[in-house]
Amino acid sequence: MPARDHHHEAVKNALQKDGWLITHDPRTIMLPERALFIDLRASRIDEEIAVLVEIKGFGQDSQIEALAEALGKYNLYRTALELNGVKEPLYLAIPQAAYNGIVSETIGQQIIRDYGVKVLVYDPDTEAIIQWLP
């Protein structure tokens, strides 16, 4: 199993504080040749919905590299979910600082639009969800 992002527990706690039940940590996706691990699956029983969450901390020195890595992993997992017929939406969890930085810049906004990335913005210090996009 891969190493967890350093903000894994902060996002998990933020989801739980927001009324989500963590059902998988991680959510395994099986392909014929290998297994992939999405960080979390969370559900809201009262609303009968579930989401998958891939957490990225954007801790690298280069924000462009961090954005490229996050987008690559997000698209890889989205393809694996499609191959398995999984309909639950996949969200890319990013810290508020990254959202206010590279993701709010022209290149970040264009990538979010072009690739249809669903984003969960979180505050790692307060362990709170700031917003869900879209």
pLDDT recorded at residue 1: 64
Which structural domain range is residue 112 located in? Answer: 8-133
Segment 10-17 mean pLDDT = 98
Q: Is residue 3 part of a domain?
A: no
Contact yes or no for 27/41 (Cβ under 8 A): yes
**What's the pTM?**
0.94
Q: Is residue 96 part of a domain?
A: yes
Contact yes or no for 79/101 (Cβ under 8 A): no
- The number of domains in the chain is 1
Residues 6 or more apart whose CB falls under 8 angstroms from that of 34 comprise none
Q: Is residue 127 part of a domain?
A: yes
pLDDT recorded at residue 80: 97
The CATH number that applies at residue 103 is: 3.40.1350.10
Query: 46 pLDDT band (50/70/90 cuts)?
Result: confident
Residues 6 or more apart whose CB falls under 8 angstroms from that of 62 comprise none
Q: Is residue 1 part of a domain?
A: no
Q: Is residue 93 part of a domain?
A: yes
Q: How is residue 26 written in tokens?
A: 């991680």
Strands (E) across 7-81 are located at 21-24, 27-30, 35-38, 40-44, 49-55
